[in-house]
Amino acid sequence: MKKIELIIRPEKYLDVKAALDEVGYSGMTVTEVQGHGIQKGITQQFRGMSFKYALLPKMKIEAVVKDGEVHKIVEVIMVAAGTGKEGDGKIFVTNVEEAYRVRTKESGEKAIS
């Protein structure tokens, strides 16, 4: 099993969710977060004054999937979340040693399906 963790623009969340629903994967945990990458925030002008926003609003989505589904899910996310501009986000894939479903006591891949 793998954990897919992505940080994306908030305005792309619904696109990513719809794309994942379309390919039959809807299980996820979503958190509103703040951060910045290479662009180190943005500077905006308002009434003649400059304002620096170092931490930008982002959405963090986490999902645990079967090993064989990772490539397909990552491809779907990249298409749905991409704008071609800085700040589109990142996707991280890590190993998950075990998973348990509390209600049924199932473990492994049965716990995530």
- In tens, the pLDDT along 59-78 reads 999 999 999 999 999 999 99
Residue 77: count other Cβ atoms within 10 Å of its Cβ: 22
**Higher local confidence (pLDDT), 15 or 45:** 15
Is the distance from CB of 77 to CB of 18 less than 8 angstroms? no
Phi, psi of 106 (to 5 degrees): -70, 155
Query: Domain of 10: which CATH number?
Result: 3.30.70.120
User: Rounded to whole angstroms, how far apart are CA atoms 3 and 73?
Assistant: 11
CA distance 36 to 16: 20
What average pLDDT score do residues 50-57 get? 78
Give the domain extent around 59: 2-111
Q: What is the mean pLDDT of residues 88-95?
A: 96
**What pLDDT, on the 0 to 100 scale, is given for residue 41?**
66
Q: How far is CA 35 from the centre of its chain?
A: 13
- Give the Cα separation of 96 and 73 in Å (integer): 16
**Number of structural domains, the chain?**
1
